Amino acid sequence: MQFDTIIRGGTVVTAGDTFVSDVGIRDGRIAALAARLEGASEIIEAKGLYVMPGGIDSHVHLDQPSGDGIVMADDFASGTRSAAIGGNTTILAFCMQQKGQSLREALKDYHARAEGKCHVDTSFHLVITDPTPEVLGQELPALVEDGYTSLKVFMTYEGLRLRDDEILATLDTARRTGALVMVHCENEDAIRYLIGRHEQEGKLAPRYHASTRPVAAEREATHRALSLAEIVDVPIVIVHVSNREAMEEIRRARQRGQKVAGETCPQYLMLTAEDLDQEALEGAKYVCSPPPRDKASQDACWEGLEQNVFDLFSSDHCPFRFDDPEGKLNEKGKRHFRWIPNGIPGVGSRLPILFSEGVMKGRIDLNQFVRLASTNHAKLYGLYPRKGTIAIGSDADITLWDPERECVLTNDMLQHGADYTPYEGTVLKGWPVRTILRGKTIVSDNTLRVQSSGQYLPRGRSGI
Ligand code: URP
Ligand code: ZN
Ligand code: ZN
Ligand code: ZN
């Protein structure tokens, strides 16, 4: 037999092309693309289906410990199961440094959490919360050489945020080492001030999470992050952009000649601040940062996806159970929005939403879908061309999409650990009917077929 598997008669879609072809797979890699291939022990009929690179979700939080007893709803097993169900073959999760902890210690902890559990391929971004001279001078350069080539810094969250001088030092290290820095842009001092004012006024319900994190706080921090990157002359990624004003900062920086990548997420297309304003604290389900905004912001984010202001469409999956005293409804969070853990589930629903709302509603074409779902993530984070495309020699990470499959999204379908999806009841057209990881079908008929076959991926430098 020439091939292990042939995917027969589907429409192959890559970042740049759409063509009907058979795909021959051997030893986990794509070995041939041709109108007709013969000689395989397995034939997968794909007539009428789109044959696309497996999704890459480059912004996922799993099994992240927190100091105050809050427990995340997904570990690496359940989170990557949901990812696979939703058409992904790779995720990039965060490895968060605790204050006083070395990066190596943080990595040891996260590798132990992920080891043997992942159903899709996985790699880690480092989160720098304690940029000591030792961390930036010795540890980080060595880790970049070892394939940990991206990191995130926070401008918000007490205890996690970095000062501007610390961000500059981190960016400067990134420039020297070739690492890529992702920045969470919100002005923490402004937010803290507004929280204080809300407290004086007794405004403590979930909906006030949104009003203490206004657009101006995100726009200002986005502008500042871009300015800091310009000062040390290094590319950056602005993650989870929620509105037009922050998005325009990215456009302007590019016009100045800066290298910047932008990311938005499903919550900024599908939710608004009004979702936080519900009876019985149900609004807690939608608490994330930056918060969802309004209809005009949703339209702006779509525009950014259509016009390539955003290179990345990621989930920012950060799941907590609603009905859980260690989750969204912890005792303190019931009394004050600031203790509701930030984040919502979305790793399984990201691609079906983008396909249905984007492709099927005519907002983006199939190739743009592939770029936003997979290719750009691989290029930006040093996985291309092993991942993110359908080409000879690439890993056979392939998702088959049925554009005719219609369904109503329910939490059960997503098979994550959270007890809700913010997108319950969304009518979807198009569904990932088979997910193939390095040549093996890991999901078909919405069922995980192969356990724990994900591998850890050391990465190269960014292709930004
Ligand atoms: O609310 C959010 N986005 N939680 C996840 C952590 C982060 O800021 O990305
Ligand atoms: Zn963030
Ligand atoms: Zn500005
Ligand atoms: Zn995040």
Tell me the DSSP string of 181-195: EEEE---HHHHHHHH
Per-residue pLDDT 10s for the chain (464 aa) are: 899 999 999 999 999 999 999 999 999 999 999 999 999 999 999 999 999 999 999 999 999 998 789 999 999 999 999 999 999 999 999 999 999 999 999 999 999 999 999 999 999 999 999 999 999 999 999 999 999 999 999 999 999 999 999 999 999 999 999 999 999 999 999 999 999 999 999 999 999 999 999 999 999 999 999 999 999 999 999 999 999 999 999 999 999 999 999 999 999 999 999 999 998 899 999 999 999 999 999 999 999 999 999 999 999 999 999 999 999 999 999 999 999 999 999 999 999 999 999 999 999 999 999 999 999 999 999 999 999 999 999 999 999 999 999 999 999 999 999 999 999 999 999 999 999 999 999 999 999 999 999 999 999 999 99
Question: Which helix (H) or strand (E) element contains residue 209?
Answer: helix 208-211
What kind of architecture, by CATH, is found in domain 3-52+388-448?
Roll (2.30)
- Res 66: pLDDT: 87
How far apart, in whole angstroms, are the C-alpha atoms of residue 328 and residue 332?
10
Is the CB of residue 213 less than 8 Å from the CB of residue 189?
A: no
* Closest residue by Cα to residue 270 from 172, 203, 209, 349: 349
Question: Which helix (H) or strand (E) element contains residue 92?
Answer: strand 88-96
- Res 67: pLDDT: 78
Of ligand 1's atoms, which has the minimum distance to the CA of residue 61?
5
Domain 55-359 has CATH 3.20.20.140: yes
To the nearest 10 degrees (0 to 180), the angle between helices 295-306 and 244-255 is 30
Calculate Rg over the CA atoms of the chain.
21
Question: Which ligand neighbours the alpha carbon of 225 most closely?
Answer: 3
* Closest residue by Cα to residue 301 from 263, 348, 345: 263
- Res 193: pLDDT: 98
Domain ranges, ordered by start, for the chain: 3-52+388-448, 55-359
State the maximum Cα–Cα separation within the chain, in Å, rounded to a whole number.
Answer: 74
- Res 68: pLDDT: 86
Check pocket membership of 318 for ligand 1, CB cut-off 6 A: yes
Q: How far is the CA of 240 from the centre of ligand 1 (A)?
A: 8
- Res 174: pLDDT: 98
Residues recorded for the chain = 464
Burial class (CB in 10 A: 0-12, 13-18, 19+), 27: exposed
How far apart, in whole angstroms, are the C-alpha atoms of residue 121 and residue 64?
18
- Res 1: pLDDT: 83
Q: How far is the CA of 291 from the centre of ligand 1 (A)?
A: 10
State the Cα torsion 347-329-420-81 to the nearest 10°: 40
Q: How far is the CA of 51 from the centre of ligand 1 (A)?
A: 32
Taking ligand 3, which is a single-atom ion, which protein residues have CB atoms under 5 Å away?
A: 223
The dihedral region occupied by 127, where left means phi > 0, alpha psi between -120 and 50, and beta the remainder, is: beta
Counting ligand 1 atoms within 8 A of each CB, the residue from 62, 162, 213, 240 with the most, and so the one to mutate, is: 240
How far apart, in whole angstroms, are the C-alpha atoms of residue 264 and residue 372?
10
Check pocket membership of 395 for ligand 1, CB cut-off 6 A: no
Token representation of residue 48: 């009428």
- Res 463: pLDDT: 94
Question: Which helix (H) or strand (E) element contains residue 146?
Answer: none
* Closest residue by Cα to residue 250 from 216, 217, 227: 227
